[in-house]
Structure 1
Amino acid sequence: MDEAETGAAVSAMRAVAHPVRLQMLSLLTGTEMSAAEVARELDLTHANASYHLRVLVDADEIVVAGEEKIRGGVAKRYRYPHERRGEHARPDRPTSDDQVFYARALGQEIERRIQQRRTDGGSKGFNSDLEGWVSPDAWAKACELLAEASFLLHEANRAPRTPGTIHVSHTAWAFQMEQP
């Protein structure tokens, strides 16, 4: 990877390594929203939402999906193009230090989500953790299933509070470890 690609990878990782911007990526998956709508949903000022959206656009993490006329002005609509991840992902690879920075921000976001989870026993949920040794075939199948589940949920995601939907959280991070 050349220096420009490395810089882009670092910029993208740092752009998303912020709790508000992580929330925005989730919010903009499967739907288009204006800065004003994002601000209302995340209880931010319009200026703050616009700033974070610009950072994500500049890092090529979200796209301007269109514009709409509102009260004599024009509002941009943003969306997270999740479908380009996976097999169509950009070839850049952030460094381990950048991924650790991202993991810390993700940890804060997961903590926020856990505090907001349903605890009445009426909802299904799942969590898992493993650092272990498995066959290459088991590892390949697990990665395939995790990718399938992630794609399913990203494709099914709708605008906040869409009738007939439930509010969920999904996070997965699986990787092969160095041999000790």
Structure 2
Amino acid sequence: MSLEVSSLRALAHPVRLQILSLLTGSAMSATELAGELDISQANASYHLRALASAGYVVVDSEERIRGGVAKRYRHPWDSAQPSRPAHDEDYLLYVQAMARELVRRAAYRDPDYPARSNTDAELWVTPEVWEEVFDLVERASTMLHSSARRPRTPGAVHVNMTASLFAMRERKVVDGR
């Protein structure tokens, strides 16, 4: 899926990233999301509309409630993965939102479960190693997404995975720096 500016900007908000995570495991309504995220139902609806407009969430079902219709949304994660950003500025907004969301999640790290892996690396490797690492991270991401459950499912562990893999262009070396 090729990203357009509006769809990449739709992802560049920490609440929207949280919504996508929640909607990976099960379909939820704006009211359910609002309760889970401790935001107003109107705010949840606003973010859902932005994500739906960009194609990141779809209506899974509709339910009649007190004379109205409540839509339940889901995140079709396997068909809505970002592939190539339209503009560097928009990509940076998305990465900034991911970084803020990682900091928020890290505050909730369970000390009874040791951090399994933390990696921060800017390296030079062979193309073969790069492709293998990329494939392994993609497989791990797919495994987690396809195994996602509704929030607070008994027996499920609340986990985080944040990954951003990309090849870097060369920067000019100035005065040995």
Paired letter, 1:81: P
Match of 2:116 in 1: 125
- TM-score scaled by length of structure 2: 0.89
2:95 to 92, 103, 114: 103
1:163 match: secondary structure? coil
Paired letter, 1:64: V
Q: How does 1:50-69 map to 2 (within 5 A)?
A: 50-69=45-64
- Deviation, structure 1 residue 124: 4.7
Aligned-partner Cα distance in 1 for 2:80–2:93: 20
1:172 to 152, 156, 163: 163
CA contact (8 A) 2:25 2:151 kept: no
Aligned-partner Cα distance in 1 for 2:58–2:114: 33
Number of residues paired by the alignment?
170
1:23 match: secondary structure? helix
Q: Determine if the alignment matches structure 1 residue 147 to structure 2 residue 142.
A: no
1:21 to 12, 16, 19: 16
CA contact (8 A) 1:9 1:92 kept: no
Paired letter, 2:106: I
- Deviation, structure 1 residue 123: 4.0
CA contact (8 A) 2:56 2:80 kept: no
Match of 2:107 in 1: 115
Aligned-partner Cα distance in 2 for 1:85–1:177: 24
For structure 2, list consecutive stretches of 5 or more residues without a partner in the other structure.
172-177
- TM-score scaled by length of structure 1: 0.88
